[in-house]
C-alpha cells in the first residue's frame, strides 16, 4: 500500500506535461492601438494559424479604411476589410508590409461591380463570430460566408461555410499586402503562374514577390492547393498589371482592367508581369461547406504539394488545430510551468503564455527551404529585425529553445558564408535593412559566452570580423542614400579612421556610435577564445562611445552627454538638445530613440558610464528623472502609447534601462520601476502592448519581468528581479529544471526582495552568472515583502568592457 502511493509523485510531471497551456493564450494581444478599433500604434501582430517558428502563418489580410494611419503588416486589423486569406505573414513589425501572399478569397457573386482584379470591389467586412486560439482563426463575412483556418508548418487548411447561392473561391496570385501610403518600399508582384489540375480539384503554381521592409529582390513562392470536393467549374484568368513598379513592364497609368478568361488550364505572367489567378465555382443552391488545403515552398510545386498532403492528412480542420496545440504545448508552453489552480490570477497566466506565444511566431525556420544555396542544413528567415530581438529575446531562446536556437545561429553564419554578411533584418530570403549596428554580432557573442553548442566559432568570428571591418556596398536605398543600409555597418568609413560616426558625413551618428561600440564589444567576447590577439583592438573600439561624450555639456541640470561630433573632430553643440531627435528616423542624429535614451545603453561598461554621468548619486538622480512623467521633450505621436517619460518602454533601446539601479546596488528601485512598467503597459487586451510587438521583442521584455530575472546581453549575466508567480518550473538547456519560488506574493504590493537564495545558498549580489543555474538548472528562492529593502551587499553587476579612453 505504502509503496503504491509513493509512486504517485512520479506521475505528476507526466500529467503536467499534458496540460493544455494554450488555453491561456490570447492571440489578439497587440492587435489594436490607442485609437479603439484601429491597428495604428498597436502591436501589428499576426492573428491566425501558425506553428512555433513555422513557415506558414495562415490568416486574413485586411485594409483599414483609415488608410492614412493603418498598419496592416500582420494582416489582421480590428475592423479592416478582408481582402483575402493568405499563407504568409510577419508578426509585430512596424516597417513596410511584407508577405500577405498565396491567398484565397470566398465570394458569393462575381457580378458587377465585382471585378476580381480589384480587391476594393469585393473586400468584405467581418460581421461577427470572430475567434482565434492557438493554431486557429475564424470569422464571418458580410457576404454570409463563415470561415475557419488552421495552420500547419508549411501549409494551412481553410473551411468555408457558404450560405445558399453562388459560391466562389478566388485565387489571385498577384495578391500581397500593400503599403499604407504607397512608397518605394512597397512590395511588388514580379509575375507568377497557375495551373488547374484534376478538373479544378487541385491547383499549383508560383508567384514572385519583392520589396517591403527588406527591399528584397523577387523571391519565388510555389504553392499547391486542393479542395475536398472538386468544384463544378474552375477557370484561370489573367489581366494586365497596373501596379506602379519601376523597371517592370506594366500599365501603371491605366485603370484596373477586367480579367480575361481564356479557357486555359495554365496561365503564366510572361514578360509583361501580367496578373494571373483562378476562380473555382461550387454550384449548389443550398448552403454548403467548402474545404481547402494549401501548401507552400520556396523550392518547388512538388514540395508544396508534399507539405500539404503530409502535414494535413485529414479534412477535419480541428485535427490540424489540435496538432498545432499539441506542438505549441510540447515545444513552448510546457517549458514554463506555474500553478493554474483557481486561486491563481488568471490574467497573469494569460500574460505569461501569450508572451511566450508571440515570441515564437518569428523568425521562421526555413530549414530545407533554402532556394539560394544547397549545402546548408540550417536556414532561417524573417529576422525582422535583429535590432529588436538581440536585446533579450534571443537570450530566452538560448535557455528555452536550445535546439532551434543553435540552428538559428548557424543559419545566421551560413548567410554570411554565402551572401557576405549576416543580416540585421531579413525577409523574403533577402538581407535588409540595418537600423543601427550589425547586431547579429551581439547574438553570436551572447551565444558564445553562454556556451551554445554546435556552432563553428571559427566561422562565427569570421562573420563578425566582416561586420567590423568591411564597408558594405551602397544600394542607394531612398530612405538613406548616404551609405549601405542593406547589411553590415554602413558608417565604417567614419568608425575606423575617426573612432566615431560623424554627424556631418553620416546619418544616425549618435545611435550608431553607441551601437557600433556594443558590436565591437561582442567581438571582444568571442575574440577572447577565438582570436586573443584581437581583444585589445576591439576593447579599445568598444569604448568609442566615449569619443562622442561631451563631459561639459549640460541639459536639465545634468552634465555629460553624447553630442554630435563632426569629422573634423569638433563637437557640434549648436541647437543640440539630447532629448530631441527630429523624427528619430533614418536621416536624424539618432534612430527610434533620443540621444538621452541611448546614453544609457552601454551595457558592457556601466562603470565608465556612471563615472561619466557624475558618479553614483548623479547617475541615480538622472535615472530617477527619466522615469518621471512629462520629462519627454520628444513628441512620440500617436505611436507613443501615451508615454511622457524620457524612458520609453515601447521601444527597444530602453529595454535594459529600468534595471540599471542594479549597478548602484539599489535593486529595489529596479523592481519598483520595471514592475510598474509591466503593470501599466502590458495587458490582457487587444491594446495590450505599448507599440509594435516587433517579432515578440516587447513580449520577451515583459516575460523576463514576470520570471524575475533579466539577461544582460553579450554577458553570461542575469540581473535578479522579482517574480510574478510563487512557483515557476522552467525546462532549460534541453531538459534541466530551474525552479523559481517566492514567498510573500499573496499581499498586494508585496513584491520587493527581502532575501534571495540560489541553490540553497544565501545570495548577497543582485545578479548571478549563467553557470550558476541556467546550465544545469537549480533553484532561486525569493523572500518577497512590501519593504523596498536594500538587501544586496555584494559586488554590483560586472562591466567586462571597462576601458577608459583619453577624454576628447
Ligand atoms: C483617421 O485617423 C486620424 C488620426 O488619428 C483621425 O484624426 C481621424 O479621425 C481618423 N479618421 C477616421 C475616418 O477614422
Ligand atoms: C454566428 O454563429 C452562430 C452559430 O453558428 C450563427 O447562428 C450566427 O448567425 C453567426 N453570425 C453572427 C453574425 O453572429
Ligand atoms: C487592393 O487593391 C488596391 C488598389 O488596386 C491595391 O493597391 C492593393 O495592393 C490591393 N491588394 C490588397 C491586398 O489590398
Ligand atoms: C474550354 O476548353 C475545353 C477543353 O479544352 C473545351 O472542351 C471547351 O469547349 C472550351 N470551352 C470554351 C467556352 O471555349
Ligand atoms: C448540394 O448540397 C446538398 C446539401 O449540402 C448536398 O446534399 C448535395 O449533394 C449538393 N449537391 C451538389 C451537386 O453538390
Ligand atoms: C472545432 O472544434 C470546436 C470546439 O472544439 C468547434 O466549436 C468547431 O466548430 C470545430 N470546427 C470544425 C471545423 O470542426
Ligand atoms: C515544480 O516542481 C516541483 C518538483 O517537481 C514540484 O513539487 C512543484 O509542484 C512544481 N511546481 C509547479 C508550479 O509546477
Ligand atoms: C490579476 O493581475 C492583474 C495584472 O497583473 C491585475 O491587474 C489584477 O488586479 C489582478 N487581479 C487580482 C484579483 O488580484
Ligand atoms: C569550422 O569552419 C572552418 C572554416 O570553414 C573549417 O575549416 C573547420 O573544419 C570547421 N570546424 C569544424 C569542427 O567543422
Ligand atoms: C586605441 O585606439 C586609438 C585609435 O585607433 C589608438 O590611437 C590607441 O593607440 C589605441 N589604444 C591602445 C591602448 O591600443
Ligand atoms: C566643452 O568641451 C569641449 C570638448 O572637450 C570643448 O571644445 C569646449 O570648449 C568645452 N566647452 C566648455 C563650455 O567648457
Ligand atoms: C536529456 O537528458 C538525457 C539524460 O540525462 C540526455 O541523454 C539527453 O541528451 C538530454 N536531452 C537534451 C535535449 O538535452
Find the CATH number of the domain harbouring 413. Answer: 1.20.1610.10
Q: Count of domains in the chain?
A: 2
- 419/322 same-domain check: no
Any residues with Cβ below 6 Å from ligand 2, and which? 127-129, 140
pLDDT, tens digit, 9 for 90 and up, residues 542-561: 999 999 999 999 999 999 99
265 located within any domain: yes
Distance CA 80, CA 94 (A): 17
697 located within any domain: yes
pLDDT, tens digit, 9 for 90 and up, residues 713-734: 999 999 999 999 999 999 999 9
778 located within any domain: no
Q: What grid cell was written down for 296?
A: 507552400
Residue 286 CB–ligand 5 contact under 6 Å: yes
- 290/194 same-domain check: yes
Task: Provide mean pLDDT across the span 612-633.
Answer: 97
- 239/384 same-domain check: no
Residues 6+ apart with CB under 8 A from 295: 154, 155, 223, 224, 225, 303, 304, 305, 306, 307, 308, 309, 311, 312
- 449/550 same-domain check: yes
Query: Is the bond preceding 198 in cis, omega lying within 30 degrees of 0?
Result: no
Which ligand minimizes its atom distance to the CA of 414? 9
- Of 92-96, 191-195, 604-608, 678-682, the range with the lowest mean pLDDT is 92-96
- 328/383 same-domain check: no
Residue 456 has pLDDT above 70, yes or no: yes
Distance CA 55, CA 47 (A): 15
How many Å lie between the centroid of ligand 11 and the Cα of residue 552?
A: 6
pLDDT, tens digit, 9 for 90 and up, residues 484-522: 999 999 999 999 999 999 999 999 999 999 999 999 999
Residue 319 has pLDDT above 80, yes or no: yes
Residue 289 CB–ligand 5 contact under 6 Å: no
- 522/668 same-domain check: yes
pLDDT, tens digit, 9 for 90 and up, residues 167-187: 999 999 999 999 876 778 899
Residue 35 CB–ligand 1 contact under 6 Å: yes
pLDDT, tens digit, 9 for 90 and up, residues 86-97: 999 999 998 889
- 591/495 same-domain check: yes
Residue 362 has pLDDT above 60, yes or no: yes
How many Å lie between the centroid of ligand 7 and the Cα of residue 733?
A: 18
Reported as a pLDDT band with limits 50, 70 and 90, residue 468 is very high
- 322/411 same-domain check: no
- 385/306 same-domain check: no
- 306/427 same-domain check: no
Amino acid 10: pLDDT = 40
790 located within any domain: no
**Mean pLDDT over all residues of the chain?**
95
Residue 217 CB–ligand 12 contact under 6 Å: no
Q: Whose CA is nearest to atom 10 of ligand 1?
A: 66
Any residues with Cβ below 6 Å from ligand 7, and which? 16, 337-339, 727, 729, 739
Task: Provide mean pLDDT across the span 469-485.
Answer: 96
Residue 279 has pLDDT above 90, yes or no: yes
Beta strands in 282-349, from DSSP E residues, in sequence order: 288-297, 336-338
Closest CA to 173 of 292, 276, 57: 276
Mapped onto helix, strand or coil, the DSSP state of residue 227 is strand
- 386/306 same-domain check: no
Q: Is 330 left (phi over 0), alpha (psi -120 to 50) or beta?
A: alpha
Q: Whose CA is nearest to atom 1 of ligand 1?
A: 66
Residue 264 has pLDDT above 50, yes or no: yes
Mapped onto helix, strand or coil, the DSSP state of residue 585 is coil
Reported as a pLDDT band with limits 50, 70 and 90, residue 31 is very high
Asked if residues 717 and 687 have their Cβ atoms less than 8 Å apart, the reply is no
Task: Provide mean pLDDT across the span 109-136.
Answer: 97
764 located within any domain: no
- CB-hemisphere CA count at 13 Å for 765? 14
- 494/583 same-domain check: yes
Residue finishing a domain among 719, 748, 779: 719
Which ligand minimizes its atom distance to the CA of 570? 11
Q: Whose CA is nearest to atom 10 of ligand 2?
A: 129
Amino acid 182: pLDDT = 72
Task: Provide mean pLDDT across the span 346-357.
Answer: 98
Residue 3 has pLDDT above 70, yes or no: no
Residue 786 CB–ligand 11 contact under 6 Å: no
Asked if residues 444 and 423 have their Cβ atoms less than 8 Å apart, the reply is no
* Distances in whole angstroms, Cα of residue 312 to Cα of each of 171, 293, 309: 20, 7, 6
Q: What grid cell was written down for 223?
A: 504553392
Residue 12 has pLDDT above 60, yes or no: no
H-helix segments, 567-692: 595-598, 606-612, 616-626, 667-681
Amino acid 638: pLDDT = 65
Amino acid 639: pLDDT = 66
Amino acid 376: pLDDT = 78
Any residues with Cβ below 6 Å from ligand 9, and which? 456, 458-459
Q: Whose CA is nearest to atom 13 of ligand 2?
A: 128
Residue finishing a domain among 657, 689, 719: 719
Residue 550 CB–ligand 11 contact under 6 Å: yes
What residue numbers bound the domain in which 507 lies? 362-370+379-719
Task: Provide mean pLDDT across the span 600-613.
Answer: 98
Residue 803 has pLDDT above 70, yes or no: yes
Amino acid 739: pLDDT = 98
Task: Name the pairing type of β-strands 778-785 and 736-743.
Answer: parallel
Compute φ and ψ for 231, nearest 5 degrees.
Answer: -70, 165
Residue 636 has pLDDT above 80, yes or no: no
- Of 99-108, 368-377, 749-758, the range with the lowest mean pLDDT is 368-377
Residue finishing a domain among 701, 719, 737: 719
- 142: domain CATH number is 2.70.98.10
Asked if residues 448 and 526 have their Cβ atoms less than 8 Å apart, the reply is yes
Residue 5 has pLDDT above 70, yes or no: no
Asked if residues 458 and 530 have their Cβ atoms less than 8 Å apart, the reply is yes
pTM: 0.95
Reported as a pLDDT band with limits 50, 70 and 90, residue 71 is confident
Any residues with Cβ below 6 Å from ligand 6, and which? 148, 159, 317-318
Task: Provide mean pLDDT across the span 740-758.
Answer: 95
Residue 246 has pLDDT above 90, yes or no: no
659 located within any domain: yes
734 located within any domain: no
Amino acid 6: pLDDT = 38
Q: Is 175 left (phi over 0), alpha (psi -120 to 50) or beta?
A: beta
Any residues with Cβ below 6 Å from ligand 3, and which? 61, 63, 83, 118-120, 175, 177-178, 256
How many Å lie between the centroid of ligand 1 and the Cα of residue 66?
A: 6
pLDDT, tens digit, 9 for 90 and up, residues 662-715: 999 999 999 999 999 999 999 999 999 999 999 999 999 999 999 999 999 999
Amino acid 164: pLDDT = 96
Residue 9 has pLDDT above 50, yes or no: no
Residue 683 alpha carbon, nearest atom of ligand 8: 4
H-helix segments, 386-534: 386-389, 393-400, 402-419, 440-449, 457-469, 492-498, 509-530
Residues 6+ apart with CB under 8 A from 719: 659, 662, 667, 670, 709, 710, 711, 712, 766, 767, 797
Residue 552 alpha carbon, nearest atom of ligand 11: 1
Residue 286 alpha carbon, nearest atom of ligand 5: 2
Q: Whose CA is nearest to atom 6 of ligand 8?
A: 347
How many Å lie between the centroid of ligand 2 and the Cα of residue 140?
A: 8
Q: What grid cell was written down for 733?
A: 538547456
Query: Using alpha carbons only, what angle is made at residue 138 by residues 136 and 142, rounded to the nearest 5 degrees?
Result: 165
Residue 552 CB–ligand 11 contact under 6 Å: yes
Amino acid 4: pLDDT = 37
Residue 755 has pLDDT above 60, yes or no: yes
How many Å lie between the centroid of ligand 10 and the Cα of residue 525?
A: 19
How many Å lie between the centroid of ligand 10 and the Cα of residue 420?
A: 28
| Number of neighbours of residue 247 by Cβ within 10 angstroms | 5
* Distances in whole angstroms, Cα of residue 564 to Cα of each of 27, 490, 505, 549, 588: 43, 18, 11, 9, 11
745 located within any domain: no
pLDDT, tens digit, 9 for 90 and up, residues 641-677: 889 999 999 999 999 999 999 999 999 999 999 999 9
Amino acid 808: pLDDT = 87
Asked if residues 673 and 661 have their Cβ atoms less than 8 Å apart, the reply is yes
Reported as a pLDDT band with limits 50, 70 and 90, residue 385 is very high
pLDDT, tens digit, 9 for 90 and up, residues 303-312: 999 999 999 9
Amino acid at each position: 500500500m505504502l509503496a503504491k502511493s509513493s509512486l504517485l509523485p512520479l506521475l505528476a510531471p507526466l500529467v503536467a506535461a499534458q496540460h493544455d497551456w494554450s488555453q491561456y493564450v490570447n492571440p489578439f494581444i497587440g492587435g489594436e492601438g490607442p485609437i479603439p478599433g484601429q491597428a495604428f500604434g498597436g502591436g501589428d501582430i499576426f492573428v491566425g494559424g501558425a506553428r512555433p517558428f513555422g513557415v506558414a502563418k495562415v490568416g486574413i489580410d485586411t485594409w483599414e479604411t483609415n488608410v492614412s494611419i493603418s498598419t496592416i503588416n500582420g494582416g489582421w486589423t480590428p475592423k479592416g476589410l478582408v481582402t483575402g486569406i493568405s499563407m504568409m505573414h510577419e508578426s509585430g513589425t512596424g516597417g513596410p508590409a511584407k508577405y500577405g501572399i498565396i491567398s484565397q478569397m470566398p465570394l458569393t457573386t462575381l457580378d458587377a461591380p465585382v471585378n476580381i482584379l480589384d480587391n476594393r470591389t469585393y473586400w468584405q467586412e467581418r460581421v461577427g463570430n470572430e475567434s482565434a486560439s492557438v493554431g486557429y482563426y475564424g470569422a464571418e463575412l458580410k457576404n454570409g460566408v463563415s470561415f475557419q483556418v488552421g495552420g500547419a508548418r508549411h501549409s494551412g487548411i481553410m473551411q468555408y461555410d457558404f450560405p445558399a447561392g453562388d459560391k466562389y473561391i478566388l485565387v489571385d496570385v498577384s495578391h500581397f499586402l500593400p503599403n499604407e501610403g504607397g512608397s518605394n518600399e512597397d512590395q511588388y508582384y514580379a509575375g507568377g503562374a497557375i495551373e488547374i489540375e484534376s478538373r479544378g480539384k487541385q491547383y499549383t503554381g508560383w508567384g514572385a514577390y519583392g520589396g517591403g521592409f527588406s527591399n528584397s529582390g523577387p523571391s519565388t513562392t510555389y504553392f499547391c492547393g486542393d479542395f475536398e470536393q472538386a468544384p463544378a467549374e474552375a477557370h484561370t484568368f489573367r489581366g494586365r498589371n497596373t501596379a506602379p513598379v519601376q523597371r517592370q513592364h506594366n500599365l501603371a497609368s491605366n485603370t484596373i482592367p477586367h480579367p480575361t478568361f481564356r479557357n486555359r488550364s495554365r496561365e503564366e505572367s510572361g514578360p509583361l508581369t501580367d496578373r494571373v489567378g483562378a476562380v473555382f465555382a461550387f454550384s449548389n443552391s443550398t448552403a454548403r461547406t467548402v474545404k481547402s488545403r494549401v501548401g507552400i515552398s520556396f523550392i518547388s510545386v512538388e514540395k508544396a504539394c508534399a507539405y500539404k498532403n503530409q502535414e494535413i492528412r485529414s479534412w477535419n480542420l480541428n485535427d490540424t488545430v489540435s496538432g498545432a496545440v499539441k506542438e505549441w504545448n510540447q515545444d513552448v508552453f510546457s517549458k514554463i510551468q506555474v500553478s493554474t489552480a483557481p486561486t491563481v490570477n488568471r490574467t497573469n497566466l494569460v500574460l505569461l503564455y501569450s508572451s511566450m506565444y508571440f515570441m515564437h511566431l518569428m523568425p521562421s525556420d526555413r530549414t530545407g527551404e533554402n532556394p539560394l544555396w544547397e549545402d546548408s542544413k540550417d536556414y532561417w528567415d524573417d529576422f525582422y529585425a535583429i535590432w529588436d530581438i538581440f536585446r533579450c529575446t534571443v537570450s530566452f531562446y538560448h535557455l528555452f529553445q536550445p535546439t532551434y536556437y543553435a540552428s538559428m545561429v548557424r543559419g545566421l553564419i551560413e548567410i554570411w558564408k554565402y551572401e557576405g554578411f549576416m543580416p540585421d533584418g531579413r525577409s523574403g530570403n533577402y538581407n535588409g535593412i540595418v537600423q543601427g549596428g550589425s547586431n547579429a554580432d551581439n547574438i553570436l557573442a551572447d551565444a558564445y559566452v553562454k556556451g551554445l553548442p554546435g556552432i563553428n566559432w571559427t566561422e562565427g568570428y569570421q562573420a563578425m570580423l566582416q561586420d567590423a571591418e568591411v564597408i558594405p556596398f551602397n544600394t542607394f536605398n531612398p530612405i538613406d542614400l548616404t551609405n549601405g543600409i542593406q547589411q553590415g555597418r554602413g558608417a565604417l568609413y567614419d568608425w575606423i579612421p575617426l573612432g566615431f560616426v560623424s554627424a556631418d558625413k553620416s546619418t544616425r551618428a549618435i545611435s550608431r556610435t553607441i551601437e557600433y561600440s556594443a558590436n565591437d564589444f561582442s567581438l571582444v567576447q568571442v575574440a577572447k577564445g577565438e582570436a586573443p590577439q584581437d581583444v585589445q583592438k576591439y576593447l579599445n573600439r568598444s569604448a568609442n562611445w566615449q569619443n562622442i561624450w561631451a563631459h561639459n555639456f549640460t541639459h536639465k541640470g545634468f552634465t555629460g552627454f553624447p553630442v554630435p561630433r563632426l569629422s573634423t573632430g569638433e563637437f557640434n553643440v549648436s541647437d543640440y538638445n539630447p532629448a530631441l531627435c527630429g523624427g528619430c528616423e533614418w536621416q536624424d542624429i539618432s534612430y527610434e530613440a533620443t540621444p538621452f535614451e541611448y546614453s544609457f545603453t552601454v551595457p558592457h561598461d556601466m562603470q565608465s558610464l556612471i563615472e561619466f554621468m557624475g558618479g553614483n548619486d548623479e547617475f541615480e538622480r538622472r535615472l530617477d528623472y527619466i522615469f518621471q512623467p512629462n520629462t519627454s521633450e520628444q513628441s512620440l505621436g500617436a505611436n507613443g502609447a501615451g508615454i511622457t517619460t524620457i524612458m520609453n518602454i515601447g521601444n527597444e533601446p530602453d529595454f535594459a534601462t529600468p534595471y540599471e539601479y542594479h549597478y548602484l546596488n539599489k535593486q529595489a528601485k529596479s523592481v519598483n520601476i520595471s514592475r510598474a512598467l509591466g503593470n501599466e503597459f502590458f495587458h490582457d487586451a487587444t491594446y495590450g502592448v505599448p507599440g509594435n510587438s516587433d517579432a515578440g521583442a516587447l513580449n520577451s521584455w515583459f516575460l523576463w519581468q514576470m520570471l524575475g530575472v533579466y539577461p544582460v546581453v553579450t554577458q553570461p549575466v542575469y540581473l535578479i528581479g522579482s517574480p510574478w508567480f510563487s512557483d515557476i518550473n522552467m525546462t532549460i538547456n534541453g531538459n534541466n529544471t530551474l525552479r523559481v519560488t517566492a514567498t510573500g506574493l499573496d499581499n498586494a504590493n508585496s513584491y520587493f526582495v527581502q532575501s534571495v537564495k540560489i541553490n540553497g545558498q544565501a545570495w548577497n549580489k543582485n545578479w548571478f552568472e549563467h553557470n550558476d543555474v541556467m546550465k544545469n538548472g537549480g533553484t532561486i528562492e525569493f523572500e518577497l515583502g512590501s519593504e523596498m529593502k536594500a538587501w544586496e551587499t555584494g559586488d554590483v553587476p560586472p562591466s567586462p568592457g571597462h576601458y577608459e579612453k583619453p577624454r576628447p
